[in-house]
Amino acid sequence: MATALYDLTVPMFVRGLTALSGLLDKGAAYAAEQGVDPATLTGAQLIADMKPLTAQVQFACDTAKGTVTRLGELEPVAMADTEQTFAELQARIARTIALLEAVPRETIDGREDAAVVLKVPGGEIPFTGRSHVLTFALPNFYFHLTTAYALLRQAGVPVGKIDFLGGI
């Protein structure tokens, strides 16, 4: 039996975003315990030409919600990229998880071979549902989760692999 496209997306995104929420909790607690301005952490970058922690969370959320809305041919859900605080980032994650959990399985399953078009500033990238998930959506999602983890870890937040994985 083949793995359903829903199983490769919604549960994976929810688990990843839940883990990201836990990482942010540890970041906020670390800032409070160490007397560090939380904006130092939420604005942290690995290098000057990379986006800060706030954007990594926004991009992870956008990848998850964009993937399921494209696959399911649902109306896109806009979220302004205005979050600056740990609380605001947590709220965005919660809104994204709620959106994911509201997507009916039947809107995604069976769309493995359906045409999916990703619109980017330079044009459009055509995929099938399967190739969109496996070659773009999941790698992109995990890139942003990993970068968020690395930013917090680099700043001294006591997070580890189990935190990234969302517990076992």
Give the domain ranges of the chain. Answer: 5-157
Q: Which CATH number fits domain 5-157: 3.20.20.150, 3.10.20.600, 1.20.120.450, 3.40.50.800?
A: 1.20.120.450
Alpha helices per DSSP H over the chain: 5-34, 38-42, 53-71, 86-102, 129-131, 138-154, 161-165
| Per-residue pLDDT tens digits for 23-35 | 999 999 999 999 9
Element (H, E) at 115: strand 115-120
Mean pLDDT (the chain, rounded): 96
Residue 86 sits at the vertex; the CA angle it makes with 84 and 90, to the nearest 5 degrees, is 105
> What distance in Å separates the CA atoms of residue 166 and residue 20, rounded to the nearest whole number?
8
Compute the average pLDDT of residues 5-10. 97
| Per-residue pLDDT tens digits for 41-95 | 999 999 999 999 999 999 999 999 999 999 999 999 999 999 999 999 999 999 9
